[in-house]
A and B are shown apart, each in its own frame.
Chain A
């Protein structure tokens, strides 16, 4: 489960570029603040390594373990 805080993200694209499994893709539409938010498209590929969350300069990404 990946949560992206719309108010914190500034659209720097670090997560899209540095994810080793290419989970993210930039969205095609601007959000309310004028930012192309990253969208976790290939979420089934995510290995919960938390690299995106620790690299995110705006602390906008939260990666949670799935409780199944």
Chain B
């Protein structure tokens, strides 16, 4: 097997003094950390050139455990901060870890506008369908009819389809997998890291503590089995009727296209219009400071 993960070396990427993690037993965030390292090794990138940006939420604590430049920002604004990081130093690989409440609710506008610009970011959205950190409130991606502390009789709202939203906004790589599919997920993150442009990877994850407890799936294993039985790969979903697809999670690559990237266009424009060659000046500032 060529894509066999080499997990034994992953401990070296972590800030050992901070583990064990504060995540609940069976939380999907740890699996996302593993798959990210696996993808990073497959894409042959190093943590020296990666900077991670995150907002507020359970999943946004991930960069705190990883030995790289990380930025823990305000609620919903990681993509706005990441835009600054990327445009300040276009050579850096910027990865954004965000949750569903962070990306879709309070930071929804930042998400669609970064996708519209096609800025070279890799956004990994850990979607657990609930606000886990603040006590289990309903989030914009909670399925219709799901129970939470703010919807004791079931949610009436239709959820956001994040992958479709972002592909509609103009992202160049959009993919959706669950934590039960760690190897396809690693491949998707690898493609996202290699893609020059806005890459969005939605990871459907489990929250046994809040979502599971309120929706009669008390353990992480039960939730993962539910995700496994209720997910359909995109190719298969095309042949199914809408009634059959109700309540199913559609997985796979939604968009993979090659459109002009924002930071490159900006650098070109600045170099063209300024006589001094401003981009070289910005880059030299990093060299002397370090």
Distance A11 CA – B20 CA, assembled complex (angstroms): 13
Residues on B with beta carbons closer than 8 Å to the beta carbon of A17: 221, 224-225
Residues B8 and A58 in contact, CB atoms below 8 Å apart: no
A58 touches B221 (CB 8 A): no
Q: Does A63 contact B (CB under 8 A)?
A: yes
A8 at the interface (CB under 8 A from B): yes
A13 to B218, CA, bound (A): 13
Q: Are A57 and B27 in contact (CB-based, < 8 A)?
A: yes
Judged by a CB distance under 8 angstroms, whether B46 is at the interface is no
Cβ of B139 under 8 Å from chain A: no
Contacting A at CB under 8 A, from B175-200, are 179-180, 182-183, 186
Nearest residue in A to B32 (C-beta to C-beta)?
Answer: A57
Nearest B residue to A52, CB-CB: B7
Report how far A51 CA is from B11 CA in the complex, Å: 16
Chain A residues 14-68 with CB under 8 Å of chain B are: 14, 17-18, 48-51, 53-59, 61-64
Chain A: residues with Cβ within 8 Å of the partner, total of 24
Does A62 contact B30, Cβ atoms closer than 8 Å? Answer: no
* Given known A13-B219, A53-B7, contact A59–B34 (CB-CB < 8 A): yes
Question: Given that A54-B34, A58-B20, A59-B30 are known contacts, is A10 also in contact with B25, CB under 8 Å in the complex?
Answer: yes
A63 and B236 CA atoms in complex are apart in Å by 34
Query: Could you say which residues of chain A place their CB within 8 Å of the CB of B183?
Result: 54
Please encode chain B, from 1 to 44, with 1 for each CB lying within 8 Å of some chain A CB and 0 for all others.
10011111011001000011101111111110111001000000
Minimum C-beta distance from A4 to chain B (A): 13
B250 surroundings in chain A (CB, below 8 A): none
B8 near A62 with CB under 8 A, answer yes
Chain B residue with minimal CB distance to A35? B25
Determine the main DSSP class of A at the interface with B. Answer: loop
Q: Are B224 and A63 in contact (CB under 8 A)?
A: no
Nearest residue in B to A51 (C-beta to C-beta)? B182
Contact B5 A53 (CB under 8 A): yes
Of the listed residues B27, B31, B33, B180, the one surrounded by the most CB atoms of chain A closer than 10 A to its CB is B31
Whether B31 pairs with A57 at a CB distance below 8 angstroms is yes
Identity of the chain B residue whose Cβ is nearest the Cβ of A60 in the assembled complex: B20
Whether B125 sits at the interface, judged by CB under 8 Å, is: no
Q: Is the CB of A57 within 8 A of B219?
A: no
Contact A14 B34 (CB under 8 A): no
Interface membership of chain B positions 207-231, coded 1 if the CB is closer than 8 angstroms to chain A and 0 otherwise: 0100000000001110011000000
Max chain A CB contacts within 10 Å: which of B1, B23, B208, B221?
B221
User: CA separation between A62 and B26, bound complex, in Å?
Assistant: 17
Contact present for A53 and B26 (CB under 8 Å): no
Interface residues of B (CB under 8 A from A): 1, 4-8, 10-11, 14, 19-21, 23-31, 33-35, 38, 179-180, 182-183, 186, 208, 219-221, 224-225
Q: In the complex, given contacts A53-B5, A54-B7, A57-B27, what are 13 additional A-B residue pairs having Cβ atoms less than 8 angstroms apart?
A: A10-B20, A10-B26, A11-B25, A12-B26, A12-B208, A14-B221, A18-B224, A50-B7, A54-B5, A56-B30, A57-B28, A59-B14, A64-B8
A-B CB proximity, top 10 nearest: A57-B30, A12-B26, A10-B25, A53-B7, A12-B25, A17-B221, A54-B182, A54-B34, A54-B5, A50-B5
Binding site for B on A (CB under 8 A): 7-8, 10-14, 17-18, 48-51, 53-59, 61-64
